[in-house]
Structure 1
Amino acid sequence: MTVAYIQTYKELIGQRVAEGDPDTLAVDMLKAAADHKGNFTGRWSEVLDRLCELPPDTRKVLCDALVDQYHADQAGPVARDNALTLLGIVSRGLPDDYLAAERLKKLDELSRRQSVWYGSRPEAVAEAELAAGRPLAPAVVAVFRRAGMETYGSKPLAELAAKLTDPVLNVGEEWAERAMRDATDPDWLALLAHATTATAAKPSAKWDRRAMALVAVLGAERVRETVLPWFALVGRPRTFPLERHTYEPDVNNAYDPYNANALRGLTWLLSLLPPHPDTTRALGALVESSLKKVAGLGPRSPKVANAGVVALARVDSEAALAELARLATRVTYKNTVKLLDTALEARATALGLSREEIEELAVPAYGLTDVGRVEHRLGEATATVEVHGAKTLLSWRNAAGKTVRSVPASVRRDHADELKELKAAAKDIDKMLSAQSERLDRQFLASRTWSYATWRERYLDHPLVGTLARRLLWTVDGTTAGYADGALRTLSDTPVTGGGEVRLWHPVGHESAEIVAWRDWLERHQITQPFKQAHREVYLLTDAERTTATYSNRFAAHVLRQHQFHSLAAVRGWRNKLRLSVDDVAPPATRALPQWGLRAEYWIEGDGEEYGVDTTDSGSYLRLRTDQVRFYPIDAPENSAHCYGGEYSMWLRDGQDPVDPLPLSSIPPLVLSEVLRDVDLFVGVASVGNDPTWQDGGPGGRFQEYWTSYGFGELNQSAETRRALLERLIPRLAIADRCTLRGRFLHVQGERHTYKIHLGSGNILMTPNDQYLCIVPKSSPSAPQAGYLPYEGDRTLAVILSKALMLAEDTQITDPSILSQL
């Protein structure tokens, strides 16, 4: 609205007042509001100030006219909304309660939104309700609080939000409503109110002093026992949904930002209490829950996750340090990773240790007295906690020493607290086992060495880590050894009783005959490794890569699901930027290898041009196309390319010279193999060729050729490893007489058809004419009963075996979606 236009309306107000024509003035104001699409900000404030300066009697007449316009036959929803807003502004200080019912209806509509637009001056409607002596409904309070927190919000909105102190938290989240039911007396309300003031990244000394004073009144134990159950409810579905418009983030799965401040404050507060295992568990779970992805938004609430890390870093206990170390293996969100790194580095510096050592020493025993086992006597019953592979089992014996299936009644009755702690510890062990398995899997490129005594203490004989270390192969002073029959043994089962330097064994550099011999040794001792080691894929330089010299095309020309690739890359230690369908550039997916002074790059680009078909609602590409793998010195300038494709080029700053990619022949074989294995994993998991529902080629059928070539084509290295394992495994299956391995397929003879299961994708062809059979596996297929397996974690192997067992008995299939294709 121009200055001249504003001046015209200010003069018009004076003219209508002088003429005694409030009806026409009301029409003029509503027309102006409509012309400017209900935006009452900017220079509009001068016009509104002029209206508010009118004498009370004049404003009363104008309000009556606005009420008439609200009820006019020609008034639509927009005009009525504008009339309510103008009434809220003009009627300030007047005794009449204009359009009370209509105002309540409007406020009720607003309460179902995540936020409100400050330009429409919604606070005027709320202020009018407060002026009438009625409090705002809790859901209305919530929306104005959220709106008041937005950085682009107006001062009036923020001022209104600051006045809304009741209820103490926003309704709509289960944890907050539970907290308000529990915290009814003034002392509890004061504590919650203080928690909502946690608006900084870290607590100040002043904030802590106030928190400690509030805790002292209530009692630390009471605060902990009351607050922790609230944390267990964080992240549950909202108690009532908010409206979500197309292309907006999924606000119903995100945290309420006002309550998120309170959560941050509560985490800080818990860190001031005496250390307790339950506190550590709750904080760790809160970090992971807060980093779960929400469509169109990203992590639910990074600030709450970061607060959980800050709180854990402030807790001086072994359990808190262990939780920080566990989270460091799981968390991939960049800012939270930085906080975890800082916390662990600070603890390492304080103890005079390296970061790697602090992660090793941080792993607790969880009460295990032997490697993977402990017994607890609870009255006349005995509980046994025992680690079996990747899971912890809790079993019971009664007074007579007989194993019983369920928890004895006497334990439930007389030892409820001990039982609760045992179950919680079992869950903790499962989480830590997964984290430590991932940490060990990353040690190949870390090139770590240990003294023999240190290694035995931290790995082989550690009550928890030992359950993993005893299933792996190690080199002791250059001699390969594994643990079996109560001792560390060589390939000929000769015991190894000491040594100097220990390393984690890797197949690179070892002869094929030796590798096969160790596979036989593992099978002979029925050892299932926690991840592929003896069966680990080895990627040696090919003739094609010697020809290209500085790059590998081994994993080029694939189509990957972007978000699945992005998550998997982060877990494997790669840095990647989501490609958006916008005019922007991005670096390739990169993995820094500081121990080797190298940086690996996987060149990718967004695929497609149709918004909403090739992208999410928020504009990120659904799929990527892949290109070269390259290596550079770790400090070389960064390459980048446009998000939707084009040449990569090196971004040079401050007079930097370009740096050439390194010859692949100069890359240490272990590094080359592990990097290419990562990339093979990305393709093997994220390729659209793995999707059994894409037999039509996806959107527009344009991926038909790729889907067919990948889903039934030549086997990659991991599929070749799978094939070698199946050659040994199939003869032991109950359906062995119905199964044959031929080339790229496992052939299964059923009663209805013969089926060919591709060993790379798990896709199926059946007779006659290689007709495609679509079977969509469960998201997490359970391991089939196939007897001994030499390693854990191959989901595709589990899918193939499950399909084979089902198709061999195809007359027993009852699933209608499968039967219709047979």
Structure 2
Amino acid sequence: MFLQSHIDKLRNHATAGAADKLAREALKAALSADGYRGAGWDRVVGLLGDLDGTLRQGVSDALVKQYRQLDEDSPARPNVLVVLDALGAGLPGDPLGAERTAALERLGSAVWFSGPADRLAEAELAAGRTLPAPVVAFFRRAAAEPYCVPELAAVARKLHEPVLNVGETWAERALDAVTGDPGDPWRDLLAHAATATSAKPTAKWDKAARALIAAAGADRVRETALPCLALVGRPRTIRLDTPPYGHDVNLAYDPFNANALRGLAWILALLPAHPDAARALGSLVETSLKKVAGLGPVNPKVANAGVNALARIDSEAALAELARLTTRVTYKATAKLLDAALDARATALGLTREEIEELAVPAYGLTGVGRREAYLGESTAVLEIRGVKAALTWRNASGKTVKSVPAAVRRDHPEELMALKTAVKDIDKMLGAQSERLDRQFLARRTWSYAAWRERYLDHPLVGSLARRLLWTVDGTPAGFADGALRTLTDDPVDPVEDGAEVTLWHPVGREPAEVVAWRDWLERHAITQPFKQAHREVYLLTDAERATGTYSNRFAAHIVRQHQFHSLAAVRGWRNKLRLCVDDEAPPATRELPQWGLRAEYWIEGEGEEYGVDTTDSGSYLRLRTDQVRFYPIDAPENSAHCYGGEYRMWLRDRVEPVEPLPLAEIPPVVLSEVLRDVDLFVGVASVGNDPTWQDGGPGGRFREYWTSYGFGELNQSAETRRVLLERLVPRLAIAGQCTIEGRFLHVRGELRTYKIHLGSGNILMTPNDQYLCIVPKSSSSAAAAGTTASTGYLPFEGDRTLAVVLSKALMLAKDTEITDPTILSQIRR
């Protein structure tokens, strides 16, 4: 038995009454028991604790001296403190009490502790001292672990203060609001929130929460809770010691506090409806679904609690948050909850799901399409939507625009100023969400009556700022909005005789090339920048190769893409995908269901590589994927699947279901084929390793060098061809036009030191002579550079093409290569 030899020697020394030898053997046993919990160690502690008082005193004194001779990091120290606790029962004083307190305090930054933490804590409590708040947090964190030893959990159950764990900014803010008065209802409400361990609140839980809300006052609860929730996700105030494996625990929620967050979300749903509460819940959902390496979403349970709370609030603001989140949330379980919440709201109101999403968009105080003016004293605030962002500007009493908020407004109208700034943030979030929703309408087969469309789209204060920059068909007549009216290509007004006229979103598929070009010219003539590509939208028509293969497209096969980026893009575009792990498992292809067409599109993919830790993350998910075919099936066809690291896709058949053949591509409606292939082109265009300028060495082992070169400088795909056509119109307007030419796949830029060839598909650069590679890693400010280019050209026809921004920003920089100061870039140019 483990420790048996020490136990036998301790018994012999006890019989002989040899205190020094007992102490030395106890120290040896403490060293042997490092990290061990069990009957053997319990017998050691029990045997020493059962000695008579005189002998215990002698052993205790000797052991104290030996303890102080140990190294600071000796593994025996915690066990010696436990033994001294057993020896000291009934004896005067508290040997090494200060050292025990210090040992406990070190637990405040620990994630897990294999030593006798429970015994140290029990001794501290028995001595009449309270545990420091960070130590309380440790025991609660430990108790939340699925494999927590019972002793640690037992200590956690005895700890009732503070009601939340310290270490997180939001929790400490909430604790600061506790008054300290006996029976403070806010303190009791926090304690009740921490009991939110189920998926949904029970009637009993709600009843108790309502009583506590009544005691505290609904206004106090809301005014106290909302600033706390605004701090969720901030860096920890007490850093935890992250283990050498797994994720960084400092980026995750404290598990004890996470329950309290769920409870606070439920509590907000019980308060009178308020826009700030809906806004806070929406932010909580998004923050809780942010990805952490090695972990995934931070805390889906908290996110789901936020969705459930929003679903229970009967207000326009809550409905708007639900609708906005449906365009943002890609985590499957939470997305399912959002869908269920909106479907339930639509059913209750007797509307379709599409109608509820349209009616859920608030105006945010805008009094006209994309504009609001607010008069604060002698100053005027002008809130305008510009593109997909809101801007707040100011005019003084004389009507002159000023650069900053007038001092009188800050002094006399702080609440109105805060409301305007909040509206700007809300509008920015909703504009992005609505732009994405509109971009998905091409496959929704959505039609509107003219009256409903004008109300919900063209004349809506927020959505109208997007809808008026798009093209529509009104009873089959294409039209765009300019100079205050719907107009045809010839600028004739479109004025339907009846409000029942049918409106649809215009798509270039099926249109004559001359008409598409004419609409591009019309948009340019009216200086209209579309929120996404419509008139310039890529069209993917059936190729001869696809007619030959018949049922599948290899147009986007044999690419190497970054898996996690691909996964995120797929989710945003409405595709369902499963991350591939380097394990013996199967997965279905990336799939987009198109219920309006009765179709399911599949993009076949497989994990790339075999070396764990090189081709995978620490958690085992592949870093890269290899792409294959695109296929279409009836929407109810059995699902295909293949091994995660490659192999043949096979249809999963159950209950004697017959296999279903893929549909001929020639039978797929052209707009469906085009939009699906456009999605796939986007996945490859954004996630391909060929777009990474630092991969000129070919990645791990150089095995992707050939692919990187062929993609980074090869033939242009459809989106790059669109970019080339656009640049042919834009470049002549640039200040550097005289230094630029477009030849084939490249934009040539003549600097003073070199001539540069910027690939229009990847943005990668070659320098003359000898096509030497120039590595320039784009910064996040590329969009800002493109905005500067917009000022130079006076016009860009659409937003959202990051590669276009990269190409333009690189061209502007390289045209003035003598002004470049970055030493990394200069060393390559002058090499």
TM-score range, shorter chain: over 0.9
Which letter maps to 2:179? Answer: T
Counterpart in the other structure of 2:530: 529
Offset, 1:102? 3.3
For the structure 1 residues 139 and 492, does the alpha-carbon distance in structure 2 shift closer, same or farther, using more than 3 Å as the test? Answer: same
1:33 touches 1:40 (CA, 8 Å); kept in 2? no
Q: Which consecutive residues of structure 1, in runs of 5 or more, have no partner in the other structure?
A: none
Cα offset for 1:359? 0.5
Q: Distance in 1 between matches of 2:501 and 2:61?
A: 94
Aligned equivalent of 2:805: 798
Find the counterpart in structure 1 of residue 176 from structure 2.
Answer: 181
Q: CA deviation at 1:33?
A: 7.4
Alpha-carbon deviation of 1:142? 0.9
Q: What is the CA-CA distance between 1:110 and the residue it aligns to?
A: 2.2
CA–CA separation in structure 1 for the residues paired with 2:61 and 2:329: 60
- With over 3 angstroms needed to count, the CA separation of the structure-2 counterparts of 1:780 and 1:652, relative to structure 1, is farther
Letter in 1 for 2:272: P
**Secondary structure of 1:765's aligned partner:** strand
Alignment of 1:211 with 2:243, yes or no, is no
Is the Cα contact below 8 Å between 2:741 and 2:749 reproduced in 1?
Answer: yes
Contact (CA 8 Å) 1:89, 1:124: kept in 2 or not?
no
For 1:820, the equivalent position in structure 2 comes to: 827
Deviation digits for residues 22-66 of structure 1 (CA, Å, limit 9, x no counterpart): 87777777777776762314x658747965994674877776676
Question: Higher mean Cα deviation, 797-806 or 201-210?
Answer: 201-210
1:284-324 Cα shifts (integer Å, max 9, x gaps): 11211111111211111212212221221222210111011
Looking at structure 1, the residues matched to 340 and 538 of structure 2 have their Cα atoms a distance apart, in angstroms, of 34
Match of 2:103 among 106, 111, 115: 106
Alpha-carbon spacing, 1:482–1:100, altered in 2? closer, same or farther (3 Å): same
Residue 494 of structure 1: how far off its partner (Å): 2.1
Could you say if the C-alpha distance between residues 46 and 183 of structure 1 is closer, same or farther in structure 2, counting changes exceeding 3 Å?
closer
Distance 1:656 1:16, change over 3 A: farther
Deviation at 1:690, TM superposition (A): 0.7
Matched residue SS, 2:761? coil
Distance in 2 of aligned mates of 1:776 and 1:694: 11
Q: Structure 1 residues 51-60 or 797-806, which shifts more?
A: 51-60
Go from structure 1 to structure 2 and tell me whether the alpha carbon gap of 1:463 and 1:18 turns closer, same or farther (over 3 Å shift). Answer: same
For residue 133 of structure 1, what is the aligned residue in structure 2? Answer: 128
Q: 1:78 aligns with which of 45, 60, 75?
A: 75
Q: For the residues of structure 2 that align with 1:53 and 1:315, how far apart are their CA atoms?
A: 60
Give the Cα separation in 2 of the matches to 1:269 and 1:691.
Answer: 47
> Residues 579 and 621 of structure 2 are in contact (CA less than 8 Å); yes or no, is this contact kept in structure 1?
yes
CA distance in 1, matches of 2:41, 2:32: 16
AA of the residue aligned to 2:627: T
Instruction: Note if 1:165 corresponds to 2:192.
Output: no
Conserved? CA contact 1:6–1:47, under 8 Å:
no
The verdict on how the C-alpha distance between 1:62 and 1:573 changes in structure 2, with shifts beyond 3 A counting, is farther
Name the structure 1 match of 2:140.
145
Measured after TM superposition, the shift of residue 246 of structure 1 is: 2.1
Q: Which moved more, 1:605-614 or 1:473-482?
A: 605-614
Distance (whole Å) between structure 2 residues aligned to residue 647 and residue 37 of structure 1: 51
Q: Any residues of structure 2 matched to 1:185-334 within 5 Å, and which?
A: 185-186=180-181, 187=184, 188-334=186-332
Describe the SS at the equivalent of 2:76: helix
The Cα shift of 1:605 comes to: 1.8
Answering whether residue 590 of structure 2 is matched by residue 589 of structure 1, we say yes
> Matched residues in 1 for 2:253 and 2:220: separation?
26
Change over 3 Å in CA distance of 1:648–1:378 after alignment to 2: same
Shift of the alpha carbon at 1:192?
2.0
Q: Quote the Cα distance in structure 1 between the aligned partners of 2:47 and 2:445.
A: 76
**1:38 and 1:82 in contact (8 A); partners too:** no
SS at 2:602's partner residue? strand
Contact between 1:455 and 1:502, CA under 8 Å: does it hold in 2? yes
Q: Deviations over 1:409-461 (max 9, x none)?
A: 22222221111111111111111110000000111111111111111111111
Q: Per-residue CA shift, 1:337-370, capped at 9, x if unaligned?
A: 1221121111111101111111000001111121
Secondary structure of the 1:527 match is: coil
Structure 1: distance between partners of 2:659 and 2:622 = 30
Q: Secondary structure at the match of 2:693?
A: coil
What's the counterpart of residue 420 of structure 2? Answer: 422
SS class of match (1:683): helix
**Paired residues of 1:116 and 1:143 also in contact (CA < 8 A):** no
CA gap of 1:56–1:628, structure 2 versus 1, over 3 A, is: farther
Inter-partner Cα distance in structure 2 for 1:453 and 1:497? 12
Q: Aligned partners of 1:656 and 1:82: how far apart in 2?
A: 64
- 1-side partners of 2:180 and 2:489: how far apart? 69
Q: 1:604 to 1:68 in 2, by over 3 A?
A: farther
Q: Which runs of 5+ in 2 are unaligned?
A: none
The answer for the alignment partner of 1:493 in structure 2 is: 491
Contact 1:328 1:337 (C-alpha < 8 Å) held by counterparts? yes
Report what 1:543 is aligned to.
544
1:33 and 1:798 map into 2 onto residues whose CA distance is 65
Over 3 Å counting, the alpha-carbon distance change for 1:92 and 1:697 in structure 2 is farther
Match of 2:779 in 1: 778
After superposition, the C-alpha distances for 1:365-424 in whole angstroms (9 at most, x for unaligned) are: 111121111222222222221111111122222223333222222222222111111111
SS in 1 for 2:75: helix
Work out which of the residue numbers 348, 367, 372 in structure 1 matches 2:365: 367
TM-score (norm 1): 0.94
State whether residues 49 and 86 of structure 2, in contact with CA within 8 Å, keep that contact through their aligned partners in structure 1. no
CA distance in structure 2 between the partners assigned to 1:666 and 1:652 by the alignment: 25
Give the aligned residue type for 1:438: E
- d(CA) in 2 for partners of 1:672, 1:223: 53
C-alpha contact 1:574 1:591 (8 A) present in aligned 2? yes
2:710 counterpart residue number: 709
CA shift for structure 1 position 713: 0.5
- Alignment partner of 1:721 is 2:722: yes
**Between 647-656 and 134-143, the greater mean CA deviation after superposition:** 647-656
Partner of 2:629: 628
Partner of 1:598: 599
Query: Once the two structures are superposed, what CA deviation does each residue of 1:135-185 show, in whole Å capped at 9, x if it has no partner?
Result: 212111111110011222133222211211222221211222222223233
Which residue number in structure 1 is paired with residue 395 of structure 2? Answer: 397
With over 3 angstroms needed to count, the CA separation of the structure-2 counterparts of 1:790 and 1:89, relative to structure 1, is farther
1:514 to 1:411, Cα distance in 2 relative to 1, 3 A: same
Structure 1's 341 and 735: CA in aligned 2 closer, same or farther, altered over 3 A?
same
Equivalent residue letter for 2:522: W
Matching of residue 807 in structure 1 with residue 807 in structure 2? no
2-structure distance, mates of 1:86, 1:395:
70
Counterpart secondary structure, 1:114: coil
Work out the CA distance in 1 between the residues paired with 2:73 and 2:405.
66
- AA paired with 2:141? R
Residue 407 of structure 2 aligns with which residue? 409
SS in 2 for 1:247: coil
Distance in structure 2 (CA, Å) of the matches to 1:550 and 1:572: 23
Partner Cα separation in structure 2 for residue 530 and residue 548 of structure 1: 36
Indicate yes or no: 2:759 matched with 1:752: no
Q: C-alpha offsets along residues 782-803 of structure 1, whole Å, 9 cap, x if unaligned?
A: 1232321111000000010011
Q: Which residue of 2 aligns with 1:357?
A: 355
The answer (yes or no) to whether the contact 1:585–1:642 under 8 Å persists in 2 is yes
Task: Note if contact 2:639-2:652 (Cα within 8 Å) is conserved in structure 1.
Answer: yes
Q: Distance in 1 between matches of 2:92 and 2:196?
A: 39
Report the alpha carbon displacement of residue 537 of structure 1 after superposing the two structures with TM.
0.8
Q: Distance in 1 between matches of 2:598 and 2:62?
A: 77
Q: For residues 479 and 63 of structure 1, do their structure 2 counterparts lie closer, same or farther at Cα, with a shift above 3 Å needed?
A: farther
Q: Report if aligned partners of 1:9, 1:47 keep a CA contact under 8 Å in 2.
A: no
Give the number of equivalent residue pairs: 816
Q: Which amino acid aligns with 2:750?
A: Q
Query: Aligned to 1:751, what secondary structure does the other structure show?
Result: coil
